Chain A
């Protein structure tokens, strides 16, 4: 069981996440915010440079305001609370943490207990 991160308002479910370059195995350790609203996982823009990631495509991303923006795509390996996912398609934004979208969360059983500010993330 994990506790919500109360440093953000309102508190949010956040887990330790590693973003890994599949080719070089360079790794960044970051907080990963669970985001069931996001169809795709988002990594911080600075990680692209730090891990020497190769851009491998682009995709139109539709934001909360309905505006579509073309954004670059990368393929990375992720380690989420110790569980390894070998290849994940991700895009970027100028943020400091990882947004773990449904593409990653659907690998797990996720149970949120907002009243208690706790959650469980298990690999079936």
Chain B
């Protein structure tokens, strides 16, 4: 349950009494003129938040590198569903360069031909979802 502290004046100096136990109950929300303006969270929550933001940024940068072959796959998908459904296809320079029901064999040929950058994806009407239920270890981020 979040605790709320109202700030009466923006320039005023405040003294908040809190300890770790207070923050374990939930964040402390700071309000000014009835609007929430900030939150104080526990240090472990902060570290988790920073680690997640860091991973999100890295992930987005990595995914960005798949363009434009990923865009080409999405453009070609309606036609591929008629011709390659259930197969993995390799998109290079915006075109299908190889296909296989076994993505590992396909990847071997891509490596052999050094066809990079490449986008390998399963031709399916629904996106492939992989189950990774193990909670992830969160790396400590220096403050």
Contacts and interface: CB of A to CB of B under 8 A. Distances in A.
Interface string A60-81: 1111100011111101000000
A56 B110 contact: yes
Interface in A54-112: 54-64, 68-73, 75, 86-89, 91, 93-96, 99, 101
Nearest to A101: B132
Contacts of B117: 54-55
Contacts of A61: 129-132
B129 A60 contact: yes
B142 interface: no
B71 to A, nearest CB: 12
Contacts of B120: 56-57, 73
Interface in B91-143: 103-105, 107-108, 110-111, 114, 116-121, 127-139
Interface stretch (B9-17, B18-26, B35-43, B51-59): B51-59
Given A48-B62, A56-B120, A63-B132, 15 more contacts: A23-B111, A38-B133, A38-B134, A42-B132, A57-B119, A58-B121, A61-B130, A63-B133, A68-B129, A72-B63, A93-B55, A93-B136, A94-B139, A95-B137, A95-B139
Sorting the interface of chain B by its residue count into under 10, 10 to 19, 20 to 34 or 35 or more gives 35 or more
Interface residues of A, number: 39
B134 A99 contact: yes
B119 A40 contact: no
A72 B54 CA distance: 15
A95 B58 CA distance: 13
Interface of A: 22-23, 35, 37-40, 42, 45, 48, 54-64, 68-73, 75, 86-89, 91, 93-96, 99, 101
A71 to B, nearest CB: 6
Contacts of B128: 59-60
A64 B135 contact: yes
B65 interface: yes
Nearest to B117: A54
Contacts of A57: 66, 119-121
A75 B7 CA distance: 54
A55 B62 contact: yes
B55 A94 contact: yes
B66 A86 contact: no
